[in-house]
């Protein structure tokens, strides 16, 4: 039996599509974990990146912290968080958020910092307030790069959120972990396929967001 | 009026960008700050709208210290044009121009109408309104930059090397356009450039700055060319300042002669009566056709292709002595051809006569200078 047969068997089994362990339920849980983690990471990373990028200060410190955060193993962090806090949603969110902040923060910083200084100078010279310069001059031009940071953070979260299943939570990781324990490889492959589908859907979502939000003058077509 | 009162800008590392500068910038005229790189001309400009804060001294706007009003209010009362225009690439042309009116709280419709009006004023086709900056040429972008600065009708316009990044032909067009706009609007314009020719062409007053931010000379361009204050200014003006000064003398007073001008169908007796060795042949509409040797012409018709080219004609009253002299120098016979606004020949004038007119103009200029000085 090859992988495609596994996939086919998993998805054609009607019992996999209903109940608390059904595909819609697990998929929905996975989306919820991912959206929550991305929202938290964005709430922290985006403002800091925008501010440091606009002022041009703190770039070195930022790069240091981001690299340090990247070096942390998500699984180790999860185990540590569970030991310290106990089971629940919070210890799962900690590694996911820590994972997602660096790409958001560093990309946003770089995106804003590398905006052409001439329009910024022009805006300041015509009496625009600093906050308006950031949101009406710099961000619209930096938006494609900022979105790419958010996108890679989102993809990493989606693929890593499977670890929630290790600490008795749901999500698509359930299929992979349970499948491994039960030596049910059909389940493992099915779960992995669903994670890949969700990652691709995330990519499509960000592509659409870019088409909608980025000005044609910046996209240049 | 903008007045610099002993203004110094010193940076924390000790460099002095502007050194005790005192300057009075008259209203409703173009004042050009010119000098080599590192002379503090841009810093001087940027101190007017407080993009740079002076270390010492004060800048007075109509007698008021510029630091008395909030910095954003100050900046919104002054248009600001920079090199490469600095347009907002995510906004359409019309929205770029409407930026300041929108900041001042105008409604969207009114701001856009005003923007369309300004596009026409700076010579941009309104069909470009919905385009984005990347779809425009460098010269067009710079026009948008000027329109954006004029949008809220500020009394003052600050221009920092606005035309440096475009090619010479486009630059000349932009300069002519600026002079035309200035004729219509009468703004107080402070213009920074490193190009002395641009300074002389545009400036009502020209401030020449030298390295270390010191004022070398502040004078109207004609005066700058006739009497540079020192060796630095003289060097900076370049080699042919005598010739360039001729731009400020009109060619109206040139004595034209029509003796040597003959229609193509003139009788032989008329041609034989001319004393000059060359004759300017004109067509039936009075426009010049070219020069012909008198002796060749008396012998019969000279076919059009054997006529000598007459070069470029000048228009007395519109063109300066410099243009007249240039026409004479370019003409193969050494005579310049004068035409009226419709291109009909009004006469010809020799290099020698132009030379006399130059000497006369210089004498009159000196007499004027003495009167002013006395």
Domain that holds residue A172: 22-214
> Six-digit token pair at A145?
């790069």
Tokens 């008021």, residue located: B64
A162 assigned to some structural domain: yes
pLDDT bracket for residue B368 (50, 70, 90): low
For residue B222, CA distances in Å to B6, B285, B314, B365 come to: 26, 38, 21, 10
Q: How far is B184 from chain A (nearest CA, A)?
A: 23
Task: Give the whole-angstrom CA distance, residue B188 versus residue B168.
Answer: 25
pLDDT bracket for residue B299 (50, 70, 90): low
Asked if A118 lies within 8 A of B51 by C-beta distance, the reply is no
Instruction: Please report residues of B whose CB lies closer than 8 A to that of A220.
Output: 132, 134
For residue A67, CA distances in Å to A63, A71, A98, A160 come to: 6, 6, 11, 18
A188 assigned to some structural domain: yes
Asked if A217 lies within 8 A of B80 by C-beta distance, the reply is no
Instruction: Please report residues of B whose CB lies closer than 8 A to that of A137.
Output: 88
Mutation for A interface: B73, B87, B88, most A CBs within 10 A: B88
The yes-or-no verdict on residue B369 having pLDDT over 80 is no
Strand partners, B34: B193, B208
A14 assigned to some structural domain: no
A5 assigned to some structural domain: no
Query: Coil, helix or strand for B332?
Result: coil
Strands (E), B112-256: 156-160, 188-193, 205-210, 214-219
CATH number of the domain within which A60 lies: 1.10.3720.10
pLDDT bracket for residue B306 (50, 70, 90): confident
**Helix residue spans in A56-184 (DSSP H):** 59-71, 74-85, 90-113, 117-125, 130-132, 139-160, 173-181
- Give yes or no for a contact between B328 and B350, defined as CB atoms under 8 angstroms apart: yes
Query: Coil, helix or strand for B11?
Result: coil
Chain B's closest residue to A129, CA to CA, is: B72
Task: Give the whole-angstrom CA distance, residue B48 versus residue B33.
Answer: 13
Tens of pLDDT, residues A45-97: 999 999 999 998 888 888 888 888 888 888 888 989 989 988 889 999 999 99
Task: Give the whole-angstrom CA distance, residue B350 versus residue B234.
Answer: 30
Task: Give the whole-angstrom CA distance, residue A37 versus residue A30.
Answer: 11
Q: Quick one: average pLDDT of B47-58?
A: 96
Does ipTM top 0.90? no
Its pTM surpasses 0.90: no
A13 assigned to some structural domain: no
Return the number of CB contacts < 8 Å for A and B.
Answer: 79
Most confident segment among A93-102, B247-256, B268-277: A93-102
The yes-or-no verdict on residue B220 having pLDDT over 60 is yes
A220 assigned to some structural domain: no
A6 assigned to some structural domain: no
Cα three-residue angle B163-B166-B171, rounded to 5 degrees: 60
The secondary element (H helix, E strand) that includes residue A193 is: helix A185-213
A84 assigned to some structural domain: yes
Task: Give the whole-angstrom CA distance, residue B253 versus residue B307.
Answer: 29
Q: How far is A145 from chain B (nearest CA, A)?
A: 14
Asked if B87 lies within 8 A of A119 by C-beta distance, the reply is yes
Look at residue B370 in the predicted model and tell me its pLDDT: 39
Tens of pLDDT, residues A136-193: 999 999 999 999 999 999 999 999 999 999 888 989 999 999 999 999 989 999 999 9
Task: Give the whole-angstrom CA distance, residue B56 versus residue B59.
Answer: 10
Total structural domains within chain A:
1
Which one of A126, A141, A214 has the shortest CB-CB distance to B75?
A126
Task: Give the whole-angstrom CA distance, residue A39 versus residue A33.
Answer: 10
Of B266, B235, B273, B251, give the one whose Cα is nearest residue B347. Answer: B251
Asked if B72 lies within 8 A of A127 by C-beta distance, the reply is yes
Strands (E), chain B: 2-10, 16-25, 30-34, 56-61, 64-65, 78-82, 156-160, 188-193, 205-210, 214-219, 261-263, 278-282, 288-293, 335-339, 345-350
Tokens 């203004």, residue located: B7
């Amino acid at each position: 039996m090859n992988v495609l047969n596994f996939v086919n068997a998993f998805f054609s089994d009607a019992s996999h599509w209903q109940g608390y362990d059904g595909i819609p339920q697990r998929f929905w849980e996975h989306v919820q974990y991912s959206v929550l983690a991305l929202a938290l990471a964005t709430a922290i990373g985006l403002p800091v990146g925008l501010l440091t990028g606009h002022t041009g200060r703190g770039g070195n410190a930022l790069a240091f912290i981001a690299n340090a955060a990247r070096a942390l193993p998500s699984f180790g962090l999860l185990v540590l968080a569970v030991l310290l806090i106990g089971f629940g949603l919070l210890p799962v969110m900690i590694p996911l958020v820590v994972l997602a902040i660096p790409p958001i923060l560093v990309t946003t910083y770089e995106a804003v910092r590398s905006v052409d200084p001439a329009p910024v100078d022009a805006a300041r010279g015509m009496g625009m307030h600093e906050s308006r310069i950031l949101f009406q001059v710099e961000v619209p031009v930096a938006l494609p790069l900022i979105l790419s940071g958010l996108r890679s953070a989102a993809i990493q979260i989606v693929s890593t959120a499977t670890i929630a299943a290790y600490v008795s939570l749901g999500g698509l990781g359930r299929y992979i972990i349970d499948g491994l324990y039960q030596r049910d490889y059909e389940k493992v492959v099915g779960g992995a396929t669903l994670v890949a589908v969700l990652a691709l859907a995330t990519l499509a979502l960000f592509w659409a967001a870019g088409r909608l939000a980025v000005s044609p003058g910046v996209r240049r077509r | 009026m903008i007045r610099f009162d002993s203004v110094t800008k010193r940076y924390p590392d000790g460099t002095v960008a502007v050194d005790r500068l005192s300057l009075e910038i008259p209203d409703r005229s173009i004042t050009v700050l010119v000098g080599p790189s590192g002379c503090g001309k841009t810093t001087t400009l940027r101190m007017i709208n407080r993009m740079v804060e002076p270390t010492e001294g004060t800048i007075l706007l109509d007698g008021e210290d510029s630091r008395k009003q909030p910095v954003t209010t100050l900046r919104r009362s002054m248009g600001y044009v920079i090199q490469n225009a600095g347009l907002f690439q995510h906004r359409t042309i019309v929205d770029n121009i409407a930026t300041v009116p929108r900041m001042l709280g105008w409604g969207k419709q009114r701001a856009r109408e005003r923007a369309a009006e300004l596009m026409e004023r700076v010579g941009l086709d309104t069909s470009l309104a919905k385009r984005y900056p990347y779809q425009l040429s460098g010269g067009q972008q710079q026009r948008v930059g000027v329109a954006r600065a004029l949008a809220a009708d500020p009394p003052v316009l600050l221009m920092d090397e606005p035309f440096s990044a475009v090619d010479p032909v486009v630059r000349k067009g932009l300069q002519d356009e600026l002079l035309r706009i200035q004729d219509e609007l009468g703004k107080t314009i402070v213009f920074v450039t490193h190009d002395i020719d641009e300074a002389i062409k545009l400036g009502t007053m020209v401030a020449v700055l030298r390295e270390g931010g010191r004022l070398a000379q502040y004078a109207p361009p004609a005066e700058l060319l006739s009497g540079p204050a020192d060796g630095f200014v003289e060097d900076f003006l370049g080699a042919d300042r005598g010739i360039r000064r001729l731009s400020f003398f009109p060619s109206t007073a040139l004595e034209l002669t029509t003796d040597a001008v003959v229609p193509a169908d003139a009788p032989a007796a008329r041609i034989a009566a001319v004393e000059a060795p060359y004759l300017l042949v004109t067509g039936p509409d009075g426009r010049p056709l070219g020069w012909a040797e008198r002796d060749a012409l008396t012998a019969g018709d000279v076919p059009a292709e054997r006529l000598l080219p007459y070069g470029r004609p000048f228009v007395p009253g519109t063109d300066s002595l410099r243009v007249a002299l240039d026409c004479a120098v370019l003409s193969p016979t050494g005579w310049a051809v004068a035409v009226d606004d419709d291109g009909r020949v009004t006469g010809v004038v020799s290099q020698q006569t132009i030379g006399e007119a130059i000497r006369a103009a210089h004498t009159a200029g000196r007499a004027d200078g003495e009167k002013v000085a006395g």
